[in-house]
Amino acid sequence: MKIINLSPRFCLLRYACGLAIALFLLSACEIKGKKEKAPIQKVQTENDYTNNLKLKAINDEIAQAATNPIAWSKRADFFLQAQEYQAAIADAKQALRLDSNRVEAYVLLASAYRGGKRLDSAALCINRAKRRGYASPELYVSSGEILLVARRLDAALDELNEALRLAPENAKAYFYKGMVYEEKGDTAKAIQSFQKAVSITPEYADGHNKLAGIYMRRKQWSMASQHLATGLRFAPEDAYVLYNLGVYYENQKNTDSARSFFSKAVFFEPSMYLANFQLGTYSYKARNYMEAANRYEAVLQYNPRMVEARFYLALCREFMGSYSEALAQYEAVIAEGKGFEADSKRGIARIQSRMAQRDTQEEAEALADSTL
């Protein structure tokens, strides 16, 4: 089982984010029939209606005053929050074309570049804003986040401390300080920083989720439960909180609740492949190989190098008699070279033996038919 732990790489997608920290990993598998793979799309939620209204209002504002840089900045911010980074970049650039002195637009542009994994461009925008004398908590938080992703941890702390000098109650700055300290291995200071972030902004779901992850790794289940409950209350559609609730209930041996939260995590964020991995595990253990296949097909769609999923996908296809597909997956596991090679070679040997037996039997039956 893996705890979703918002690490610096994950910052690029959702404040900050990336590597999940493992507690333990359940066995799993997957298979899918010979259907053409349809693209997985994010489900619509009740928030989409409100967001569509917001976007329409901003579009109307731009239509009425296309030379207003403020309106373009508003739409850039909207696209940034929606993680539509290319659109955010285009609108932030347009705001700067209309008013090159609007230096706060550089912060929007930096954030959009950061979300699009263009860290060098993001850092360049921040430096341009600084050279123009612009100083704001948001600027230094963005700079600190970028330095965190680049693993320049001491420099990141300097920027975040400068943000807090300008705005002592900046929850986001404390959140990223917590991430820096966690990367440094100073869990005590990390907890202090995350606690400060959620005390300033109680609805800060990411902060509660980070605290829950730390407490689960420490097996302090009661503390983890409190923060997960709070995170869920303020962000009931947050896939990362929902996933960690699944991890929590799995560790409490409450499989029904765990399955429910993993399913909700995937519902709100189809790219949550770790949740699909756990759901695939439940199906595999129940010998529902087709359902496991569907789950792990989704895993590999979002993380094609996850060898655990590919190995168990091969295993399930073997169980279902789809030998050619199983062989292809076993061979891909071996080529990846990141584990399960020996088991994959045994799987190939089993299949080759069964295929040889099948061919021999078919030849015998054909010979018998020819003599009738």
Rg (CA), the chain: 25
Q: Give ∠ CA 191-195-196 in degrees, rounded to 5.
A: 120
Q: Quickly count: other Cβ atoms within 10 Å of residue 310's Cβ.
A: 26
Task: Dump pLDDT digits (tens) for 21-43.
Answer: 333 333 333 323 333 334 444 44
C-alpha span between 218 and 3 (Å, rounded): 12
Extended strands (E) in the chain: 2-3, 21-22
* pLDDT by residue, tens only, the chain of 372 residues: 666 555 444 443 343 333 333 333 333 333 233 333 344 444 455 566 677 888 888 998 899 988 999 999 999 999 988 889 999 999 989 988 998 878 888 888 988 898 888 888 988 988 888 888 888 898 899 899 989 988 999 999 999 999 999 999 999 999 999 999 999 999 999 999 999 999 999 999 999 999 999 999 999 999 999 999 999 999 999 999 999 999 999 999 999 999 999 999 999 999 999 999 999 999 999 999 999 988 999 999 999 999 999 999 999 999 999 999 999 999 999 999 888 999 999 999 999 998 888 767 666 666 666 655
116 sits in which H/E element: none
